[in-house]
Structure formats: structure tokens, C-alpha cells
Amino acid sequence: MFELSQDHEDLRALVRDFAEREVAPNIAKWDAAAYFPTDLVPKMGDLGLFGLVVPEELGGTAGEGGSDFTSLCVAIEELGRVDQSIGITLSAGVGLGINPILTYGNDEQKQRFLPDLVAGRALAGFGLTEPDGGSDAAASRTRATLEGDEWVINGSKAFITNSGTEITSVVTVTARTGTNADGSPQLSAILIPAGTPGLTVEPAYHKLGWHVSDTHGLSFDNCRVPAANLLGEPGQGFKQFLKTLDDGRIAISALALGCARACLELATDHAKTRVAFGRPIGANQGVSFQLADVEVMVEASRALTYKAAWLKDEHQAGRRSVGEVKQAAAVAKLYSTEAAVAATRIATQVFGGNGFMEEYPVARFYRDAKILEIGEGTSEIQRMVIARGLGLPA
């Protein structure tokens, strides 16, 4: 059965020290300015965080064959405990940036992009969502037409993480490349390097939360890339992004776990020291019972997250089925993200009026938490996946 090894706990201590030393003293001003700290990314690369699932022969630390997804979740949890934006930068940088190239790329594509991505010298994005698409990702309107030895891409993508930083090197984009025999659109994944003519990075979004995370829309106007930039086989884009999302859901669960942990720690400390009516507010059952509920949420989120991560690693080793990973990922993502939203609400309530003030971290966690129930598949999508996993009719 799954449990964290001493290596995992050593990594946790390393990342926690990094987050408290490099992120915590600066995050309030970064958040207020919606500033993406580009120079933090190579520091994360120096710790090996972008290479945790990448085999050593490609510059990572995962050993032959790659994938220690549990280690990645530990790192995301610890970064997310200090700030969610920095946690999603790692989560998306690996899960949506590196993983598609690592899993589906050919040797030339891997050698071209992975060394800089693994070292933290560059970031990559994953262009799936479209302005009119949302959860209906298969209804892509972005098209790629093969003209000679080039793909010509037209369309747009929305809400793409790590797509417009100074060090963004490439974005993997899903596009319609034809029509299947049953009339459904044929979707393929294509690598579009940053700076390619015809690719426009739209202005950064003004977001409710994740102010320190880089998020842009992308548009393509006769954007031309070599035919060799096709990622994997033509027509396999739908299957590729579904698997990518399964992995990403576990990572988001780890991010949500970090959020809930932070709120529990902050609110518990406050409840011990804030005095009202002559005693600490934590002496009141109205407060203590709510924090007890958050402790249950944290423990349940931890168990679900690391069970799913363990199953992912076991599947990589050929010992578990993809269906087991898919179901566990959806369960973990659904529970942990909804628990994180509840934890931030409770923590803010415990802080009272101070919780509404930006000087207190719980306000930032409160803003950041909502997107966890939306990104990488909404809560409604997770319930649908879980129901199908139970064998219920589609």
C-alpha cells in the first residue's frame, strides 16, 4: 500500500525551506503587483523540481524510465502551502508543459525542448481550452491545415498558464486537423515555439486569484510551423490531453491540500492567540469545531491525493490500470478542491474582520482557492467521471 518514503520527506523539507525562504517574504508584494517572478523559476530548476518525473538520461531525477509523480505532488503541496500561484507554476510547468513532450514527443522534440524546461531555464504551456469551449474540449474550433511541409494554424485558446512569460519557449496546442470516419473532429497536438509569426500572446488576464501565476489567451493567424512539430500521431490529440488531464488532476489535488493545510495552520494559530471576552477564541466550540472539521478535510485530502499519486507511479511501472488512475484522480481532485474552498472560508471567518484584509494570507488563499474547483476539469466533470467509473450509463 502507498506511503511516503524517507526520500519523499527529505524532499518535503527541502521544498518547505525553499518556499519559506524564497517565496514567503516576497509573495504579498508580488501578489499586489500581479508580478510573475521569472528569476524564481531557475532556482526551482536548480532544486530539480521540474525534473522529478523526467528520467536521468533527459536531465531529470526520476531514474530510468521516469515518473516519480508522488515526489512532484510533495513539492507542489509544499509550494502551495506558502502560495498557490507558485505551486501552479510548478504543477503546470511539469504536468502541462513537460509531460506532453516527455510522453508523446520524438527524440528530436525531447532533445530540443526538455533540457531547458527541466533546468528551469524555460517554461512551456498547454493550449487546450478555447473561449467558447470550456469543459467541451472536444469541440475545438482551432484548426491546423497541412500545406506542404508546414501546419497552418488558425484559432484561439483561453486561460493558458505559463504561456506569456519572458522564458516561455513553447506551447503545445490542440487543433482540428481533419474529420474522423464517424464525422467527429480529428484533434492533433502541435508544438508552437514562442515567437512564431502568427502567434499572438494576448494581454494577461485580470484575475480573482493566482495573481502571481502567468495566464494569457493565445490567438493564431496563419501561424506556420514545420510538419515535424506534430506531437505524437495525427488524430491522437484527444486521447493525449485526456491522459494529461488525469495526471494534472492529481497535481491540483496536491495544490489544494497545500491550501487547506495553510489555512488550518494559520487559523489554528490565530484561534490560540486571539482573545475575546477574556479567553482565546479557540476555547469556543463555535471556532474549535470548525477547525476540527478542517483537520478532517486535510487528512482526507492527503490520503486521497497520495493514493492517486501512488497509483499513477504504479501504473507507470505496469502494475495498475489506467482506469484505476483515472478514477482515483477524479475522486482526489473533487474532494480536495472542494475541501480547500471550505477551508479558506472557515479560516477567513475565524480571522473575522482581519480575514477580509489583504495583509493577512488567508485573504489571498480565499481568492486563490475558487479556481481549484474549475481548472483541470470542473467539479461537475469530476462527478461525471466518477459516475462513469462506477459503471453508470454515460
Q: Which of 138, 169, 128, 140 lies closest to 45, judged by CA?
A: 169
13-25 confidence digits (pLDDT tens): 999 999 999 999 9
| Active-site hit among 77, 78, 338, 376 | 376
Same domain, 77 and 194: no
290-327 confidence digits (pLDDT tens): 999 999 999 999 999 999 999 999 999 999 999 999 99
Q: Which of 363, 368, 370, 369 lies closest to 347, judged by CA?
A: 363
What pLDDT was estimated at residue 66? 56
97, part of any domain = yes
The whole-angstrom separation of Cα 363 and Cα 385 is: 32
Same domain, 68 and 86: yes
Name the domain boundary from 199, 234, 269: 234
DSSP result, 108-151? HHHHHHHHHHHHTS-EEEEE---TTTTT-TTS---EEEEETTEE
Name the domain boundary from 234, 256, 290: 234
66-94 confidence digits (pLDDT tens): 568 999 999 999 999 999 999 999 999 99
1, part of any domain = no
Angle ∠(247,165,160) on CA atoms, nearest 5: 45
Same domain, 112 and 227: no
Cell numbers 494576448: residue: 202
The CATH number assigned to the domain holding 262 equals 1.20.140.10
32-43 confidence digits (pLDDT tens): 999 999 999 999
Q: Which of 248, 259, 215 lies closest to 370, judged by CA?
A: 259
Give the residues across from 143 on adjacent strands: 154, 176
DSSP secondary structure letter of residue 212: T
Residues 194 and 125: beta-carbon distance below 8 Å? no
Residues 126 and 100: beta-carbon distance below 8 Å? yes
Beta strands 275-276 and 279-280 are: antiparallel
343, part of any domain = yes
Same domain, 70 and 176: no
Active site residue 376: yes
What pLDDT was estimated at residue 133? 77
Name the domain boundary from 102, 122, 142: 122
Same domain, 212 and 244: no
What pLDDT was estimated at residue 374? 97
141, part of any domain = yes
The CATH number assigned to the domain holding 57 equals 1.10.540.10
Range of the domain at 250: 238-389
The CATH number assigned to the domain holding 166 equals 2.40.110.10
Same domain, 157 and 248: no
344, part of any domain = yes
- Please state which of the ranges 60-74, 141-155, 240-254 shows the lowest mean pLDDT: 60-74
Domain count for the chain: 3
DSSP secondary structure letter of residue 58: G
Report whether pLDDT(108) > 90.
yes
* 211: Cα within 13 Å, side-chain hemisphere: 16
Same domain, 366 and 255: yes
Distant-in-sequence, close-in-space partners of 344: CB < 8 Å, separation ≥ 6 = 259, 260, 263, 362, 365, 366, 368, 369
394, part of any domain = no
Same domain, 134 and 215: yes
Same domain, 382 and 258: yes
Break the chain down into helix, strand, coil percent, rounded to 5.
55, 15, 30
